[in-house]
Amino acid sequence: MPFIEINNVSFTYPDAAIPAIKNLSLQIEKGQFVVLFGSSGSGKSTLLRLLKKEIQPHGELSGEILVEGRPLKVKNEIGFVFQDPENQVVADDVLHEIVFGLENLGITPNEMRSRVAEMVHFFGAEPLLHRKTHELSGGKKQQINLASVLLMQPNILILDEPTAQLDPVSSRELLDILIRLNDEFGMTVILAEHRLEEVLPLADKIFMMEKGEISIEGDPRDVLKEIWNSPNHPFVPTIPSLFFSMNGQGIIPLTVKEGRKWVQSGIQLKKEHKKFVSIGVECLKAKDIYFRYEKKSDFILNELDFSLHKGEFYALLGGNGSGKSTFLKVLGGMLKPEKGKIDSKKKRQTIGYLPQNPKLFFIHDTVGKEIQDTIEKWGGEPAPILENLGISHLMNCHPYDLSGGELQKAAIACLLMRKPEILLLDEPTKGLDPISKRNLANILFQLNAEGVTILMSTHDIEFAALHASKCGMMFQGRITSEGQPENFFQGNFFYTTMIQRLFRGLDTVRETVESCEL
């Protein structure tokens, strides 16, 4: 008997014209590590929420969902980590957030202290215990959410894009935790994810969703081979994508270790042509910036100097809590530095800012009303932008009913219609599937070619390496290094691309699949 069984399930949100889930069936065995992927809005988040009785969305549901042959009940055997960490935080400070679930279960104080001590030490979260939750970065909130869920000791762990807001080091740490939970404790893990490079090697089985249905399922290598020969080939991760593009023979490599064995079998690449980057005049400058949220707290930004030039596409990287989001708010005028000066050659209204949490962008109850309000204030023609982002069909939807990727694209559309001359984008690819990322990159490239200057903070190393003209690393509240991508990522262990890991120590140096040519 399958551990989890979904039979002919359909689900339609209230007032929706078409079902979010259509006659879907799947089976998951006990102790499996399952990865679910697909385009933004394909129904991944809806399906995951249907698996936990307490958070099932309101709407029309048919079919049956069974766990160990029994219908779903309100129990603590299923733990759920949301796509947006803001949706899961309920307390003002970290310690109360962690123990909230245990208090509701009536756990004895002695057992509660034991569980919390073990979990806090496991996550290295001691310095965060007395911090306010609203001060934490999105990635830190996600780690606290996972710790809170694991304290409930579930048998099934469901995660909705848990690495979307994590830096490469934190992402690796999270995945290592999931591996241990799956291998050592036999916990069944169901993970929805867009960034597949590091999760596919962990999977026993993968499912691809399209328009509310399972389109392909099976062993990762078999599924990737089928996807490569379809319009969905951008979903194929970096290393197998290079393997397919070069007509590789043998077992499809999923990891760097497997890929290096294939590469060392005798692949010869042409000499790489370096990108020419034209730098314009300085348009935004920060000098000796200091900022902290409270007078007695540590500085988030500390002696920070920064210069942005017209026409640059600058990618700002760094760990969770390093100050990237705070710095963008300071540059955009949302926060005032305690010390230092921001010198801009442009007026504030020509600077467009996309927050890390796109929900903050919306004040109306439908996407269409938000778009119309933007047009009335700023003018512009929405059709091309909406079409390029693939969200024309979402005009009558409430922003909070959208998937994370759809919400991100709707916020970007509103921002772009303002025609800013400088774009400050905080994690713009968060929640976007590979095809949506490609469409966003095309839009940003077009804007960049028209003279728009772009500064984005990101954890998406592959996107930064492929599209940015300059990269910078933020550490302890200041920018510690800068450079063009081909130089910036060399020699790094974590802040580097999968291709550079693949060719590390070999004569050939590359950053992305696109830079590799036989």
Residue owning tokens 């990727």:
405
State the average pLDDT for the chain. Answer: 87
DSSP string, 365-398: SSHHHHHHHHHHHH---HHHHHHHHT-GGGTTS-
Domain membership flag for residue 273 = no
Model pLDDT for residues 256-282, shown as the tens digit of each residue: 999 988 888 766 655 555 555 566 788
pLDDT at 163 over 80: yes
Identify the weakest region by mean pLDDT among 177-181, 245-249, 477-481.
245-249
With a pLDDT cut of 70, the percent of the chain lying above it is 92
Q: Which two tokens stand for residue 384?
A: 């091309």
Please tell me whether residues 139 and 65 are part of one structural domain.
Answer: yes
Which tens digit of pLDDT belongs to each residue from 458-517?
Answer: 999 999 999 999 999 999 899 999 999 888 888 788 888 888 888 887 665 555 666 565
**Are 398 and 371 contacting, i.e. CB atoms less than 8 angstroms apart?**
no
User: What's the average model confidence in pLDDT over 287-315?
Assistant: 92
Give the CA distances from residue 454 to residues 197, 315, 333, in Å, rounded to whole numbers and listed in that order.
Answer: 26, 8, 16
* CA 80 to centroid of chain Cα atoms: 17
Is residue 305 within 8 A of residue 351, CB to CB? The reply is: no
Q: Put the strands of the sheet holding 301-309 in their side by side order.
A: 301-309, 282-291, 339-344
pLDDT in tens, 126-160: 888 888 888 787 667 888 888 899 898 899 999 99
Determine the average pLDDT of the residues in 361-370: 88
Inside any domain, residue 268: no
Residue 180 belongs to some domain of the structure = yes
Q: Does residue 245 sit within a domain? A: no
Compute the distance between CA of residue 146 and CA of residue 152 in angstroms, rounded to an integer: 10
Q: Which pairing describes strands 478-483 and 470-475: parallel, antiparallel, or unpaired?
A: antiparallel
Examine the fold and report which residue of 167, 197, 232 is the final residue of a domain before the chain moves on.
232
Token pair for 419: 């025609």
- Within this chain, do residues 213 and 291 fall inside the same structural domain, yes or no? no
Q: Rounded CA gap, 306 and 287, in Å?
A: 7
Sign of dihedral through CA atoms 71, 75, 79, 82? positive
The Cα–Cα gap between 9 and 226 comes to 25
Q: Cα-flanking dihedrals φ and ψ of residue 331, to 5°?
A: -65, -35
Separation CA 500–CA 511 (nearest Å) = 5
Cα–Cα distance for residue pair 79/88, rounded to 1 Å: 12
User: Looking at the structure, do residues 219 and 363 belong to the same domain, yes or no?
Assistant: no
E strand map for 267-320: 282-291, 301-309, 313-318
The pLDDT tens digits for 380-393 are: 677 778 888 888 88
Q: What is the mean pLDDT of residues 62-90?
A: 84
pLDDT confidence bin for 48, thresholds 50/70/90:
very high
CA distances (Å), 235 to each of 40, 158, 231, 261, 438, in order?
A: 12, 21, 9, 23, 11
What was the pLDDT predicted at 518?
45
Is residue 277, in this structure, part of any structural domain at all?
no
Calpha distance 222→255 (Å, rounded): 15
Q: What is the C-alpha to C-alpha distance for residues 24 and 209, in angstroms, rounded to an integer?
A: 10
Quick one: pLDDT at residue 127?
Answer: 87
Residues 329 and 421 in one domain: yes
Per-residue model confidence (pLDDT) at position 46: 92
Q: Is the pLDDT of residue 87 over 80?
A: no
Same-domain check for residues 297 and 189: no
Whether residue 304 has pLDDT greater than 90: yes
Q: For residues 195 and 498, what is the distance between their CA atoms, to the nearest angstrom?
A: 12
DSSP notation for 432-475: --HHHHHHHHHHHHHHHHTT-EEEEE-S-HHHHHHH-SEEEEEE
Domain that holds residue 338: 282-483
Q: What pLDDT, on a 0 to 100 scale, did the predictor assign at position 479?
A: 94
Spatial separation of the C-alpha atoms in residues 404 and 41, rounded to whole Å: 8
In angstroms, the Cα distances linking 313 to 75, 327, 329, 390, 459 are 48, 17, 18, 23, 15
| Residue 517, in any domain of the structure | no
pLDDT of residue 236: 94
Residue 288 belongs to a domain: yes
- Beta-bridge mates of residue 343: 285
Computed over its alpha carbons, how large is the radius of gyration of the chain? Answer: 23
Instruction: Decide which of 232, 263, 292 is a domain's last residue.
Output: 232
Q: What dihedral do alpha carbons 82, 87, 90, 96 form, nearest 10°?
A: 40
Task: Please tell me the distance from the alpha carbon of residue 126 to that of residue 141, in angstroms, as a whole number.
Answer: 14
Same domain, 312 and 227: no
Contact (CB, 8 A) for 94 and 125: yes
Q: Are residues 105 and 218 in the same domain?
A: yes
CATH number for the domain harbouring residue 106: 3.40.50.300
Same domain, residue pair 322 and 404: yes
Question: Which pLDDT belongs to residue 414?
Answer: 87
Tell me the CB-side half-sphere exposure of residue 314, using CA atoms within 13 A. 29
Co-location of 222 and 317 in the same domain = no
Collect all residues with Cβ–Cβ distance below 8 Å to 264 and sequence separation of at least 6.
506
Number of compact structural domains in the chain: 2
Residues 208 and 286 in one domain: no
C-alpha–C-alpha distance, residues 242 and 515, integer Å: 10
Query: Exposure of 423 by Cβ count < 10 A (0-12 exposed, 13-18 middle, 19+ buried)?
Result: buried
500, part of any domain: no
Query: 227 with 351, same domain?
Result: no
Looking at the structure, do residues 212 and 308 belong to the same domain, yes or no?
no
- Residue 424 and residue 312: Cα distance in Å, rounded? 12
What pLDDT is attached to residue 82? 85
Taking the C-alpha atoms of residue 407 and residue 369, their distance in angstroms, rounded to an integer, is 14
